[in-house]
Homo-oligomer: A and B are copies of this chain.
Amino acid sequence: MDVITVDALVDGVHFDRRRSPPEAIGHRALAVNLSDLAAMGAEPRSALLSMLLPGDLPLSDFDGIVQGFCALAAHHRVQLLGGNLTRTPGPLALDVTATGSVKRRDVLTRAGAAAGDEVYVTGTVGAAAAGLETVASRQSSVVSQAVDRYLRPEPRVRMGVVLARNRAATACVDLSDGLADGAHRIAEASGVGMVIDGTTLPVDAAASAWWQASGGDALMRSLVSDDYELLFTARPRLRGRLAAARGQGGTPVTRIGYCTREPAVVLRTARGDIPMPAGYAHFGAAAPERLDRSGAVR
């Protein structure tokens, strides 16, 4: 089946035009959507790029944005079908629609987790938040690796597809709104609770170093870091499938918790259990759920 998703990046909300290279802005705009497709287990196919262009945007910046977009598209064999350009009296914005395909029976949703399932995260978390902080503080030379992960996130396209094909995951989201938000979304959609062991969270090394130096709380910051990783649940008795997916997915995977019958989402810290923070929502109560994310075409 075909799946389709749309996501927008706005200057001053999701990135800072004065501090991001144009290529990184274009890269990021597509990466957001590829990450969304990965969370559905879909192979990306095509994209549309719709841009709101302020009058003062230099043509070279426009070119850089399109180049960054197209480079990531080429890497994942995503066809740029077209798009739209319009001027705006407001900030630069990129709205990207992406399509993908996945067998109907393989589609990953947020709703399949059951009590007893284990919770996993791909890669590491925290680099995006640390990268954002260092870019904002202009100390970018300190942790250029975290900055680069923030500016040019690599969506887990392959891992999403193999998790779906191997039927290794029962539910999946990406972390584009942070791990705390992702945990809440799976828990709510699946009607389960969750215990996330914060002490096992795979915090990015450069991010850790940054927070050690700057006095930031690595755990709390990592929970709201918009890393382009996947958070998923898996049945303990199907670990064989997960092992196969790990082998093919090319991404490290860490077990960080489990699902519970009790509906609460709990964060286990060195100082004891606390409620999982709410995460951040770009828009909260005003957003009807069905408008908040992607859907499936036929």
Contacts and interface: CB of A to CB of B under 8 A. Distances in A.
Interface stretch (A1-9, A147-155, A167-175, A201-209): A1-9
Contacts of A13: 86-89
A88 B85 contact: no
Interface in A1-31: 2, 4-8, 10, 12-14
Interface stretch (A90-98, A113-121, A190-198, A242-250): A90-98
Interface stretch (A124-132, A133-141, A266-274, A280-288): A280-288
Interface in A251-298: 282-283, 286-288, 290-298
Interface string A72-110: 000000001111111111110101010100000000000
Contacts of A287: 85
Most buried by B among A51, A90, A286, A292: A90
A85 to B, nearest CB: 5
A219 interface: no
B99 A290 contact: no
A97 to B, nearest CB: 4
A97 B6 CA distance: 8
A191 to B, nearest CB: 21
A59 interface: yes
A48 B4 contact: yes
Determine how many copies of this chain the complex contains. Answer: 2
Given A52-B93, A62-B286, A14 B81 contact: no
Contact of A291 (B14, B59, B83): B83
Given A95-B95, A297-B46, A10 B84 contact: no
A145 interface: no
Contacts of A83: 6, 291-292
A4 B99 contact: yes
A59 to B, nearest CB: 6
A50 interface: yes
A184 to B, nearest CB: 17
A290 B80 contact: yes
A86 B7 CA distance: 9
Nearest to A82: B295
A288 B276 CA distance: 47
10 contacts: A4-B46, A6-B95, A8-B50, A45-B298, A52-B90, A53-B283, A66-B288, A83-B292, A87-B283, A90-B93
Given A13-B89, A81-B295, 6 more contacts: A52-B52, A53-B283, A66-B288, A82-B292, A85-B286, A95-B95
